[in-house]
Amino acid sequence: MADPAPDNDTRSGLRSPRHWGSWVLMGLGWLLARLPYRMQMGLGRVFGDIAYHVIGERRRVAEVNLRLCFPELGERARRRILRDHFRSVGMGAIETAICWWGPTAKIEALAHIEGLENLQAAAERGRGIILLSAHFTSLELGVRMAKRPLRELGYVTTAMYKAPHDPVVDHVMRTRREAHIGGSSIRDDDVKGLLRALRRKDAVWYAADQKPPKRLGVVVDFFGQPARTHVALSRLARMSKASVVPFFTLRREDGDGYRLIIKPSISADLGEDETADARRINEMIESVVREAPAQYFWLHQRFKRSGYNPYKPAAKTDV
Protein backbone atom coordinates (compact mmCIF):
# COMPACT_ATOMS: atom_id res chain seq x y z
CA MET A 1 0.00 0.00 0.00
CA ALA A 2 1.44 3.34 -1.01
CA ASP A 3 2.00 6.05 1.53
CA PRO A 4 -0.75 8.68 1.62
CA ALA A 5 0.43 11.80 -0.18
CA PRO A 6 1.07 14.87 1.96
CA ASP A 7 -0.33 18.23 0.91
CA ASN A 8 1.63 20.31 -1.60
CA ASP A 9 3.39 22.48 0.99
CA THR A 10 4.46 19.48 3.05
CA ARG A 11 5.55 17.53 -0.03
CA SER A 12 7.70 20.41 -1.20
CA GLY A 13 9.28 20.78 2.23
CA LEU A 14 10.11 17.10 2.57
CA ARG A 15 11.88 17.17 -0.81
CA SER A 16 14.28 19.86 0.39
CA PRO A 17 17.98 18.88 0.11
CA ARG A 18 18.33 19.24 3.87
CA HIS A 19 16.14 16.11 4.21
CA TRP A 20 17.96 13.94 1.66
CA GLY A 21 20.00 12.22 4.37
CA SER A 22 16.80 11.21 6.16
CA TRP A 23 15.35 9.81 2.93
CA VAL A 24 18.52 7.78 2.38
CA LEU A 25 18.09 6.36 5.89
CA MET A 26 14.46 5.46 5.10
CA GLY A 27 15.59 3.81 1.89
CA LEU A 28 18.09 1.73 3.85
CA GLY A 29 15.27 0.65 6.14
CA TRP A 30 13.19 -0.39 3.13
CA LEU A 31 16.06 -2.54 1.88
CA LEU A 32 16.71 -4.11 5.29
CA ALA A 33 13.04 -5.09 5.55
CA ARG A 34 13.51 -7.39 2.55
CA LEU A 35 16.33 -9.50 3.99
CA PRO A 36 15.77 -12.96 5.56
CA TYR A 37 14.71 -12.68 9.20
CA ARG A 38 17.76 -14.34 10.79
CA MET A 39 20.07 -12.12 8.74
CA GLN A 40 18.08 -9.09 9.89
CA MET A 41 18.49 -10.03 13.55
CA GLY A 42 22.20 -10.71 13.04
CA LEU A 43 22.65 -7.23 11.56
CA GLY A 44 20.65 -5.79 14.45
CA ARG A 45 23.06 -7.31 16.95
CA VAL A 46 26.01 -5.85 15.01
CA PHE A 47 24.36 -2.41 14.99
CA GLY A 48 23.82 -2.73 18.74
CA ASP A 49 27.47 -3.61 19.36
CA ILE A 50 28.52 -0.55 17.39
CA ALA A 51 26.08 1.68 19.29
CA TYR A 52 27.41 0.34 22.60
CA HIS A 53 30.82 1.81 21.79
CA VAL A 54 29.62 4.98 20.03
CA ILE A 55 26.87 6.47 22.22
CA GLY A 56 28.67 6.59 25.55
CA GLU A 57 26.25 9.01 27.20
CA ARG A 58 23.26 6.73 26.62
CA ARG A 59 25.31 3.73 27.72
CA ARG A 60 25.99 5.49 31.00
CA VAL A 61 22.24 6.16 31.48
CA ALA A 62 21.53 2.46 30.97
CA GLU A 63 24.33 1.52 33.38
CA VAL A 64 22.79 3.74 36.07
CA ASN A 65 19.30 2.31 35.48
CA LEU A 66 20.51 -1.27 35.71
CA ARG A 67 22.49 -0.55 38.86
CA LEU A 68 19.44 1.01 40.51
CA CYS A 69 17.00 -1.68 39.40
CA PHE A 70 19.13 -4.79 39.90
CA PRO A 71 21.29 -4.13 42.98
CA GLU A 72 21.16 -7.85 43.80
CA LEU A 73 23.16 -8.68 40.67
CA GLY A 74 26.91 -8.47 40.45
CA GLU A 75 28.72 -6.05 38.17
CA ARG A 76 29.49 -8.80 35.65
CA ALA A 77 25.82 -9.85 35.39
CA ARG A 78 24.67 -6.26 34.90
CA ARG A 79 27.35 -5.72 32.26
CA ARG A 80 26.08 -8.76 30.38
CA ILE A 81 22.52 -7.38 30.46
CA LEU A 82 23.85 -4.01 29.25
CA ARG A 83 25.62 -5.56 26.24
CA ASP A 84 22.56 -7.67 25.43
CA HIS A 85 20.38 -4.59 25.79
CA PHE A 86 22.28 -2.67 23.14
CA ARG A 87 21.98 -5.67 20.83
CA SER A 88 18.27 -5.69 21.57
CA VAL A 89 18.04 -2.00 20.69
CA GLY A 90 19.84 -2.72 17.40
CA MET A 91 17.39 -5.51 16.64
CA GLY A 92 14.55 -3.16 17.56
CA ALA A 93 15.71 -0.71 14.90
CA ILE A 94 15.58 -3.49 12.30
CA GLU A 95 12.18 -4.59 13.62
CA THR A 96 10.88 -1.08 13.04
CA ALA A 97 11.87 -1.42 9.39
CA ILE A 98 10.18 -4.83 9.27
CA CYS A 99 7.04 -3.30 10.77
CA TRP A 100 6.94 -0.46 8.27
CA TRP A 101 7.85 -2.34 5.09
CA GLY A 102 7.80 -6.09 5.78
CA PRO A 103 5.29 -8.47 4.15
CA THR A 104 2.25 -9.34 6.24
CA ALA A 105 2.60 -13.11 5.86
CA LYS A 106 6.16 -13.05 7.17
CA ILE A 107 5.24 -10.91 10.17
CA GLU A 108 2.18 -12.94 11.14
CA ALA A 109 4.22 -16.15 11.00
CA LEU A 110 6.55 -14.73 13.68
CA ALA A 111 3.75 -13.96 16.15
CA HIS A 112 2.99 -16.40 19.00
CA ILE A 113 -0.03 -15.17 20.95
CA GLU A 114 -0.37 -15.95 24.66
CA GLY A 115 -3.70 -15.15 26.33
CA LEU A 116 -5.95 -14.51 23.31
CA GLU A 117 -8.92 -15.42 25.51
CA ASN A 118 -8.22 -12.30 27.57
CA LEU A 119 -8.57 -10.13 24.48
CA GLN A 120 -11.75 -11.96 23.49
CA ALA A 121 -13.22 -11.37 26.95
CA ALA A 122 -12.49 -7.64 26.70
CA ALA A 123 -14.04 -7.48 23.23
CA GLU A 124 -17.25 -9.04 24.53
CA ARG A 125 -17.81 -5.88 26.64
CA GLY A 126 -18.33 -3.96 23.42
CA ARG A 127 -16.17 -1.04 24.55
CA GLY A 128 -12.95 0.47 23.29
CA ILE A 129 -9.74 -1.25 24.38
CA ILE A 130 -6.61 0.35 25.81
CA LEU A 131 -3.66 -1.95 25.08
CA LEU A 132 -1.59 -1.17 28.16
CA SER A 133 2.07 -1.65 27.33
CA ALA A 134 5.57 -0.33 27.94
CA HIS A 135 8.71 0.50 26.00
CA PHE A 136 10.19 -2.84 25.12
CA THR A 137 12.50 -2.82 22.11
CA SER A 138 10.11 -4.85 19.89
CA LEU A 139 7.12 -2.63 20.61
CA GLU A 140 6.73 -1.24 17.06
CA LEU A 141 6.50 -4.68 15.51
CA GLY A 142 4.19 -5.88 18.28
CA VAL A 143 1.62 -3.20 17.43
CA ARG A 144 1.45 -4.45 13.85
CA MET A 145 1.27 -8.08 14.99
CA ALA A 146 -1.77 -7.23 17.10
CA LYS A 147 -3.72 -6.06 14.07
CA ARG A 148 -4.94 -9.46 12.90
CA PRO A 149 -6.40 -10.79 16.18
CA LEU A 150 -7.99 -7.42 16.88
CA ARG A 151 -9.41 -7.15 13.38
CA GLU A 152 -10.94 -10.61 13.76
CA LEU A 153 -12.66 -9.31 16.91
CA GLY A 154 -13.99 -6.28 15.02
CA TYR A 155 -11.47 -3.70 16.24
CA VAL A 156 -9.45 -1.09 14.38
CA THR A 157 -5.98 -0.73 15.89
CA THR A 158 -4.13 2.52 16.44
CA ALA A 159 -1.35 3.85 18.64
CA MET A 160 -0.34 6.98 20.49
CA TYR A 161 3.01 8.40 19.48
CA LYS A 162 5.44 11.17 20.29
CA ALA A 163 6.30 13.03 17.10
CA PRO A 164 9.99 12.73 16.13
CA HIS A 165 11.95 15.92 15.51
CA ASP A 166 12.81 14.82 11.97
CA PRO A 167 9.79 15.60 9.69
CA VAL A 168 10.73 12.85 7.22
CA VAL A 169 10.81 10.21 9.94
CA ASP A 170 7.54 11.60 11.33
CA HIS A 171 5.87 11.40 7.91
CA VAL A 172 7.10 7.90 7.14
CA MET A 173 6.28 6.59 10.62
CA ARG A 174 2.71 7.88 10.52
CA THR A 175 1.97 6.76 6.99
CA ARG A 176 3.47 3.30 7.36
CA ARG A 177 1.80 2.70 10.71
CA GLU A 178 -1.55 3.80 9.37
CA ALA A 179 -1.12 1.65 6.27
CA HIS A 180 -0.51 -1.46 8.36
CA ILE A 181 -2.42 -1.17 11.62
CA GLY A 182 -5.55 0.46 10.25
CA GLY A 183 -6.23 3.51 12.42
CA SER A 184 -4.82 7.02 12.39
CA SER A 185 -1.90 7.64 14.75
CA ILE A 186 -2.71 9.80 17.77
CA ARG A 187 -0.20 12.32 19.07
CA ASP A 188 0.71 11.91 22.73
CA ASP A 189 -0.81 15.31 23.57
CA ASP A 190 -4.10 14.69 21.71
CA VAL A 191 -6.31 13.52 24.57
CA LYS A 192 -9.51 14.36 22.69
CA GLY A 193 -8.34 12.27 19.74
CA LEU A 194 -7.62 9.36 22.06
CA LEU A 195 -11.05 9.58 23.70
CA ARG A 196 -12.75 9.74 20.28
CA ALA A 197 -10.93 6.58 19.22
CA LEU A 198 -11.96 4.73 22.38
CA ARG A 199 -15.57 5.89 22.14
CA ARG A 200 -15.84 4.59 18.60
CA LYS A 201 -14.58 1.27 20.00
CA ASP A 202 -11.04 1.24 18.58
CA ALA A 203 -8.11 -0.52 20.24
CA VAL A 204 -5.37 1.98 21.19
CA TRP A 205 -1.81 0.96 22.09
CA TYR A 206 -0.69 3.00 25.11
CA ALA A 207 2.72 2.97 26.84
CA ALA A 208 2.36 3.68 30.55
CA ASP A 209 6.05 4.08 31.40
CA GLN A 210 6.86 7.47 29.90
CA LYS A 211 7.91 10.20 32.32
CA PRO A 212 4.90 12.52 32.74
CA PRO A 213 4.55 16.25 33.38
CA LYS A 214 4.01 17.09 37.05
CA ARG A 215 0.26 17.63 36.72
CA LEU A 216 -0.18 14.12 35.31
CA GLY A 217 2.23 12.20 37.49
CA VAL A 218 2.81 10.80 40.94
CA VAL A 219 5.98 9.38 42.47
CA VAL A 220 5.70 5.64 43.09
CA ASP A 221 8.19 2.79 43.14
CA PHE A 222 9.50 1.10 40.01
CA PHE A 223 12.02 -1.63 40.78
CA GLY A 224 12.17 -0.27 44.31
CA GLN A 225 13.14 3.21 43.11
CA PRO A 226 10.90 6.30 43.32
CA ALA A 227 9.89 7.22 39.77
CA ARG A 228 7.47 9.80 38.37
CA THR A 229 4.66 7.78 36.85
CA HIS A 230 1.68 8.70 34.66
CA VAL A 231 -1.81 8.75 36.14
CA ALA A 232 -3.48 9.51 32.81
CA LEU A 233 -4.45 5.88 32.25
CA SER A 234 -6.76 5.83 35.28
CA ARG A 235 -8.48 8.99 34.10
CA LEU A 236 -8.82 7.78 30.52
CA ALA A 237 -10.30 4.47 31.63
CA ARG A 238 -12.88 6.24 33.80
CA MET A 239 -13.81 8.76 31.13
CA SER A 240 -14.07 6.32 28.22
CA LYS A 241 -15.27 3.18 30.07
CA ALA A 242 -12.72 1.32 27.94
CA SER A 243 -11.28 -2.08 28.82
CA VAL A 244 -7.62 -1.90 29.91
CA VAL A 245 -5.81 -4.99 28.62
CA PRO A 246 -2.08 -5.43 29.37
CA PHE A 247 -0.24 -6.28 26.15
CA PHE A 248 3.52 -6.85 25.81
CA THR A 249 5.84 -8.05 23.05
CA LEU A 250 9.01 -10.03 23.80
CA ARG A 251 11.41 -11.88 21.52
CA ARG A 252 11.38 -15.60 22.09
CA GLU A 253 14.55 -17.05 23.59
CA ASP A 254 14.76 -19.66 20.82
CA GLY A 255 14.89 -16.91 18.17
CA ASP A 256 11.66 -18.16 16.56
CA GLY A 257 9.67 -14.93 16.53
CA TYR A 258 7.84 -13.11 19.29
CA ARG A 259 5.63 -13.66 22.31
CA LEU A 260 2.53 -11.47 22.25
CA ILE A 261 1.60 -11.56 25.94
CA ILE A 262 -2.02 -10.62 26.63
CA LYS A 263 -3.00 -10.51 30.30
CA PRO A 264 -6.51 -10.30 31.81
CA SER A 265 -8.15 -6.89 31.80
CA ILE A 266 -7.34 -4.74 34.84
CA SER A 267 -10.25 -2.34 34.35
CA ALA A 268 -11.99 -3.54 37.51
CA ASP A 269 -8.81 -2.92 39.52
CA LEU A 270 -8.54 0.75 38.55
CA GLY A 271 -10.33 3.18 40.82
CA GLU A 272 -10.28 6.67 42.26
CA ASP A 273 -6.88 6.20 43.94
CA GLU A 274 -4.58 7.15 41.08
CA THR A 275 -1.44 6.59 43.13
CA ALA A 276 -2.46 3.00 43.89
CA ASP A 277 -3.29 2.48 40.21
CA ALA A 278 0.11 3.81 39.13
CA ARG A 279 1.86 1.54 41.62
CA ARG A 280 -0.12 -1.49 40.40
CA ILE A 281 0.73 -0.75 36.75
CA ASN A 282 4.44 -0.31 37.56
CA GLU A 283 4.44 -3.65 39.35
CA MET A 284 2.91 -5.33 36.32
CA ILE A 285 5.45 -3.78 33.94
CA GLU A 286 8.27 -4.74 36.30
CA SER A 287 7.13 -8.38 36.34
CA VAL A 288 7.36 -8.55 32.54
CA VAL A 289 10.71 -6.73 32.46
CA ARG A 290 12.14 -9.37 34.80
CA GLU A 291 11.28 -12.05 32.22
CA ALA A 292 13.64 -10.44 29.69
CA PRO A 293 15.51 -7.50 31.26
CA ALA A 294 17.72 -6.85 28.22
CA GLN A 295 14.62 -6.20 26.07
CA TYR A 296 13.32 -3.28 28.14
CA PHE A 297 14.33 0.20 26.98
CA TRP A 298 16.85 1.33 29.61
CA LEU A 299 18.13 4.40 27.74
CA HIS A 300 15.60 6.86 29.26
CA GLN A 301 16.39 8.85 32.40
CA ARG A 302 13.51 7.14 34.18
CA PHE A 303 14.45 8.04 37.75
CA LYS A 304 15.40 11.70 37.37
CA ARG A 305 13.09 13.95 39.38
CA SER A 306 13.12 17.27 41.21
CA GLY A 307 16.14 17.41 43.50
CA TYR A 308 17.50 14.03 42.38
CA ASN A 309 19.54 13.24 39.28
CA PRO A 310 21.44 9.93 39.41
CA TYR A 311 22.58 10.43 35.80
CA LYS A 312 24.66 13.52 36.49
CA PRO A 313 28.38 12.71 36.30
CA ALA A 314 30.15 12.98 39.62
CA ALA A 315 32.10 16.21 39.98
CA LYS A 316 35.84 15.83 39.67
CA THR A 317 37.80 16.81 42.73
CA ASP A 318 41.36 18.00 42.87
CA VAL A 319 43.76 15.70 44.65
pLDDT tens by residue, 187-199? 877 888 889 999 8
**Using one digit for the tens of pLDDT, what is the confidence trace for 155-183?**
988 888 788 889 999 899 888 988 887 77
> Residue 2: pLDDT above 70?
no
Kindly report the number of other CB atoms within 10 A of residue 134's CB atom.
Answer: 23
pLDDT at 218 over 70: yes
- CA–CA dist 91, 46 (Å, integer): 9
> Which has more pLDDT, 26 or 181?
26
Return the biggest CA–CA distance within the chain. 69
Output the CA–CA distances (angstroms, integers) from residue 2 to 6, 79, 209, in the order listed: 12, 43, 33
Q: How many angstroms separate the Cα of 208 from the Cα of each of 80, 82, 246, 277? A: 27, 23, 10, 11
Distance CA 232, CA 210 (A): 11
The answer to whether residue 10 scores a pLDDT higher than 60 is no
Residues 1 and 144 sit within 8 Å (Cβ to Cβ): no
- pLDDT of res. 5: 43
| Cβ-based neighbours of 275, under 8 Å, separated by 6 or more | 218, 220, 231
Domain residue ranges in the chain: 20-295
pLDDT tens digit string along 93-135? 999 999 999 999 999 999 999 999 999 999 999 999 999 999 9
Q: pLDDT grade, residue 8 (50/70/90)? A: very low
* 257: confidence class by pLDDT, cuts 50, 70, 90: very high
From 285, 241, 235, 231, select the one nearest 263 (Cα to Cα).
285
State the pLDDT confidence band at 184, using cuts at 50, 70 and 90: confident
Partners of residue 225 on adjacent β-strands: 222
In this prediction, residue 1 carries a pLDDT of: 36
- The rounded percent of the chain whose pLDDT value lies above 70 is 94
